[in-house]
A = this chain, B = another copy of it.
Amino acid sequence: MDPQDLLRGLHTKNDSKIVLLVGDGLGGLPQQPGGKTELETAATPNLDKLAKEGVLGSSIPVFPGISPGSGPGHLGLFGYDPIKYLIGRGALEATGIGFELQPGDVAIRANFCTLDADGKISDRRAGRIPTEESAPLAIKLREVSIPGIELFVEPVKEHRFVIVLRGEGLEDDVDDTDPQATGVPPLTPTANTPGSKKTAEVCREFLKQAFELLKDEKKANGCTLRGIAAKPSLPSYEEVYGLKAAAIAVYPMYKGLARLVGMDIVGDAKTLDEQMEVLKENWDKYDFFFIHFKYTDSTGEDGNFEAKTKRTEELDTCVPKIMELGPAVFICTGDHSTPAMLASHSWHPVPTLLWAENCRTDPCEAFGEAECLKGGLGQFEAKFLMSLALANAGRLGKFGA
């Protein structure tokens, strides 16, 4: 069931503001059974106060047991069924480096590799070539020229780069050319559908010219293509929710995900304090604000419990600055859990706080995973967060008479 099918016909307008504060990877695990998680360990007086006044619950990003990447994690929070709306890997990689995909574009993750004298792959990652060496090579590949195609080649990191193809009639159902093995040559780009034949041809021509340009390199004398993906077509926040939405993020990936759902990217903040400034400056111009905080995830990924706890406390300090602007609805949650104990994204439900005047408060006293189990929102699929936000903002009409 796609909630947007219903919401499209129910949303109404008013002057309310909705703020969605995302602590990336917010959910965690205790260091020993029965202990406290990062969020429970952190001193978060501002979020705790709102937890008392508001309503808590546990958000399930996709379905129980599924650990989402940043793409499905955020799509879920934005109310887009993360199983229905898939963002191909190439499109996500391009989005992640801030490349603004246009409708019809096909994006490709590419890896430099090492080929032996017989053209067989001897190293699938070109010896993990450092970025200082790989970036100039990626830029050199911009010399490739294919009639009728506008070509973009963007360095990423180490052996990785991104290719974007722009032109008429490019569909994206083309297989990877990485054979996932050494001692064999790269695969030939092959179309799985008639509509993607042209894309496969362009890929073959790209590789032909690229191999020629790279032939004298020692490490990176070849490359493979992966995750060949068109720009996903997502309905916009304006259309499905009637919301003029702004994203205030520091990292390109999250700006890119927000752009895919039609949010405006506002400001150029580098810190949480600067993000709060941008929020204040834009308060009158938008209905909805997505504020992204990366460091609860990156410290979790590093397996650093103390650092994640400290970053959670940092997140808490921005809350009064948001509340003094007077949002009708304030939500704090994460796109998934990133427990420091696992040093990775996980499948655990994500603590969620919703504050609004008529939210039907619950007995919860503080913001944390255990308290959320007692919360009035129960356990719910992330894709329903936006209907809750709209309802609490008085922005949804009645369904049926």
Contacts and interface: CB of A to CB of B under 8 A. Distances in A.
A388 interface: yes
Contacts of A286: none
Nearest to A67: B398
Nearest to A227: B401
Interface string A362-401: 1100000110011111111000101111111000101111
Given A67-B391, A358-B29, A400 B72 contact: yes
Contacts of A377: 64
A342 B363 contact: no
A71 B398 CA distance: 11
A68 interface: yes
Given A92-B401, A360-B29, A360-B369, A396 B347 contact: yes
A262 interface: no
Nearest to A92: B401
B33 A361 contact: yes
B384 A360 contact: no
B360 A399 contact: no
B63 A387 contact: yes
A386 B63 CA distance: 11
Interface in A27-48: 29-30, 33-34, 37
A166 interface: no
A122 interface: no
B63 A1 contact: yes
Interface string A252-294: 0000000000000000000000000000000000000000000
A167 interface: no
22 contacts: A6-B63, A58-B378, A63-B387, A64-B377, A64-B384, A65-B396, A66-B396, A71-B400, A71-B401, A72-B399, A92-B401, A344-B398, A345-B398, A349-B376, A349-B378, A373-B374, A373-B375, A373-B378, A374-B374, A378-B378, A379-B379, A379-B380
What are the nearest 10 A-B pairs in CB distance? A65-B387, A378-B379, A65-B391, A69-B400, A72-B400, A64-B384, A347-B391, A65-B388, A69-B401, A71-B400
